[in-house]
Amino acid sequence: MKILQTLRCDPKEANNLSRQLAIAIENEEWIQLLPKRSTTLMPNATVLPTGPGVIISSGGSYRRPHQCLHPSSNLDLSAIATGEWLQKQGLEPKNCIVLNPLPLHHVSGLMPWWRSRVWGADHYWLMPSLMRDPKALKEFCKSIFHQRVGPFITSLVPTQLQRLIEHPYGLDWLKSFDLIWVGGSKLSNKLASHARREQIRLAPCYGATETAAMITSLAPNSFLAGRNDCGNPLRDVDLRLTQFGSLEIKTARLSSMVWEDGCLKEIQDKNGWWQSGDLAKLTLKNCSYQLEILGRSDTAINSGGETIFPELLESKLLAAAKKAKIPVLYILFLPLEDKEWGERLIALICWESMLTTVEQQQQLEKVKQLIEEWQPAEKPFLWHVCNELEPTESGKFERSKWQNWLKANYFLSK
């Protein structure tokens, strides 16, 4: 009989929850990993494939929310391919010490723990409270660094990297690692340059919940030499582009099914290819593709006859604001239907600190000056301060959530 358990994942209980997950897998059960306060409905156990396996929410924003079903064999294949990539970098997987600051209910947090099991490596969970306190983080990890001998590796999203690199204790902590995978969202050129100056061994990577995490990675030596793409495919991955530039992926570890709208659905075509929600560029060098992510195909808009990619504009403006020392923490561009333009952009902005109304207006005028030379279609026609604005733990914005915020806070007060 197929058994489905649900684990609601509180980061404070990560050690206990991961032990429960390990036991369930050994007992040939399916486990659904959910955030602590999630109200997501479980699929009926009778419709599940033969276990064991994990059901985990997609971390991207492509199409509608869904849960990916991964047999444990998929996760094993992912861990094995990643381990082989590590060996090519001169790191023996079983000797690695894995420090994991990402949540278990995201594939980016699940897989570091799963890899450590497959490799036979040591694994340590890092609580969110530590990641917000670089001094305490460094002190906590000091005993681990002293007691263990071997390569130290971790995985971060760019938001975490940004916060740590700007703090003296955080910077020291980052420099203590042999390898740091960075994924979840685009690594800005400015942040990449800062990391290179400090000789931080970053390995920018790309993956999805549907692919059991990482499918490409850039070697740290290549990153330090100046490359800032997402690296090359792991040995079990094939990549190609559609005629419109969307990235398609083929790998034996694609999610077997997804649970969406109350039923199970397949995501790959008859030839085994899955189309992601990302627009990409593939450059063939030395018989292998280099992957560069250009933006999300599902967030692109048509404004005044121009195709606009909000995520690229957000990154561009945020980098310019940082360079100009304007205290911007987050920027999010959202579309609004417009009779003349088709769609136009509205900007949500969150400041690094509390500002008075006058100070906000002064800083906003500085931000607008940065985009004076942009195309008209690229310029937001309305700006709103949103102090609540922040990405998810995986470093991405839930755009539908903030679209709803915009409707509630702008249209009702218009």
Is the pLDDT at 149 greater than 60? The verdict is yes
Cβ(397)–Cβ(60) under 8 Å? no
Model pLDDT for residues 82-93, shown as the tens digit of each residue: 999 999 999 999
Model pLDDT for residues 200-251, shown as the tens digit of each residue: 999 999 999 999 999 999 999 999 999 999 999 999 999 999 988 899 999 9
Cβ(206)–Cβ(214) under 8 Å? yes
pLDDT category of residue 412 using cuts at 50, 70 and 90: very low
Tokens found for residue 296? 């999300």
Domains of the chain, each with CATH number or no CATH: 4-296 (3.40.50.12780), 301-413 (3.30.300.30)
Residue with tokens 């509180």: 10
Please tell me whether the peptide bond between 71 and the residue prior to it is cis, using omega within 30 degrees of 0: no
pLDDT category of residue 264 using cuts at 50, 70 and 90: confident
Residue ranges with strand state E in 230-300: 232-233, 237-241, 246-251, 257-260, 263-265, 274-285, 288-296
Is the pLDDT at 97 greater than 70? The verdict is yes
Rg (CA), the chain: 22
pTM: 0.77
